[in-house]
Amino acid sequence: MITLAISSLKGGVGKTTCAINLAYSCAKRGWKTLLVDADPQGSVGLSLSPSAQSYLGLYEIVASGTAFDTIVLKTKLETLKIVMAGKIPTNEISKWCASLQDGTRLAPFFKTAQEAGFDLVILDTPSGLHGPTEGILRSCSHVLVPQQCEPLALRSLMLTVDFLNQLQTENENACALAGVALTMADPDVEDTKKIVEEIRRVLPPELVFQSMLPRDAAVIHASMKGMPLGLVRGGAPPVISLVFDQLAAELETKLDLTAPEQSDEYVSLVV
Ligand SMILES: Nc1ncnc2c1ncn2[C@@H]1O[C@H](COP(=O)(O)OP(=O)(O)OP(=O)(O)O)[C@@H](O)[C@H]1O
Ligand SMILES: [Mg+2]
């Protein structure tokens, strides 16, 4: 089972958007996918349901030992399930975040997810590489870093890469960088082009996804409706929803996501 954190040093770069839509695209490709809201703010829940704050979630599973099966939420896709952040009491948030920092507390949760047959767990994390995110990076197999195409990008990217290298020096099982996904790109803006060129120049090509997520008002529209981009009805699918499908396909190859015993079943439409 692959455990993939969606993390970045900077806030507001599109982590939650990426976690939700990438999980949806991966599930559509047949991978049994668990989307986990590991951000105590509960951003996945807030993006998907007006009643999100009433859902139990990761907090109850990890901190109170509530059974995984009673918490995990079904979706319209049989292959996609969700664990929301949970109802974390305000006065417990800092204790909860601190308890995740060393990376050991999620191991039983991942074991249960693996036993439940998931191929892929995608975790939305809070911004920054410390606190709960640090613990998640210590316990996940991979991390995908969304990177906004803006002037500060390079600086924060290099800090992120250094931090991930340091984690791997301390512990060779720490997460590997699956890749950097460029987001909120305005392909017609000259400055964006320069930043993209610079990022592709300084990072090894295998660390930057080819799929580049455009800045697209459809993201706000989907978020207002509380759904992944791929579920929005009316007219042709927005370009960005197709780019998430491409990103999922790239990721699948990079992570060597294979289910050999089911390989025929995976490609077959009729089951
Ligand atoms: N490609 C895009 N085009 C247009 N708007 C976008 C795009 N991606 C994200 N947004 C918008 O940018 C804002 C931040 O996105 P998001 O919440 O996904 O970022 P985040 O990194 O999870 O933020 P935080 O650090 O607060 O958790 C949201 O309002 C979202 O709708
Ligand atoms: Mg977020």
Position in ligand 1 atom list of the atom nearest CA 146: 21
Q: How far is the CA of 87 from the centre of ligand 1 (A)?
A: 23
pTM, to two decimals: 0.95
Q: How far is the CA of 126 from the centre of ligand 2 (A)?
A: 6
Q: Which two tokens stand for residue 254?
A: 């990079």
- CB contact set of 223 (below 8 Å; sequence gap of 6+): 17, 47
Which of 73, 67, 36 shows the shortest CA–CA distance to 54?
73
The model's pLDDT over 70-128, given as tens digits with 9 standing for 90+, comes to: 999 999 999 999 999 999 999 999 999 999 999 999 999 999 999 999 999 999 999 99
Topology of 2-258 in CATH?
Answer: Rossmann fold (3.40.50)
Domain ranges for the chain, please list them.
Answer: 2-258
Report the pLDDT value the prediction gives residue 233, as an integer from 0 to 100. 85
Q: Largest alpha-carbon pair distance within the chain?
A: 52
- CB contact set of 85 (below 8 Å; sequence gap of 6+): 37, 38, 39, 40, 41, 42, 43, 44, 45, 57, 58, 59
Which residue positions in the chain have pLDDT lower than 70? 259-267, 271
Position in ligand 1 atom list of the atom nearest CA 184: 1
Report the pLDDT value the prediction gives residue 266, as an integer from 0 to 100. 62
Distance CA 240, CA 229 (A): 8
Report the pLDDT value the prediction gives residue 178, as an integer from 0 to 100. 96
Test site for ligand 1: of 35, 145, 182, 219, most ligand atoms within 8 A of the Cβ: 219
Q: Which residues surround ligand 2, an ion (CB under 5 A)?
A: 15-16, 43
Q: How far is the CA of 14 from the centre of ligand 2 (A)?
A: 7
Report the pLDDT value the prediction gives residue 42, as an integer from 0 to 100. 93
Position in ligand 1 atom list of the atom nearest CA 223: 31
Residue nearest to atom 29 of ligand 1 (CA): 220
Position in ligand 1 atom list of the atom nearest CA 47: 17
Report the pLDDT value the prediction gives residue 264, as an integer from 0 to 100. 59
Is 17 close to ligand 1, i.e. is its CB under 6 Å away? yes
Report the pLDDT value the prediction gives residue 52, as an integer from 0 to 100. 75
Test site for ligand 1: of 8, 16, 213, most ligand atoms within 8 A of the Cβ: 16
Position in ligand 1 atom list of the atom nearest CA 213: 1
Report the pLDDT value the prediction gives residue 259, as an integer from 0 to 100. 61
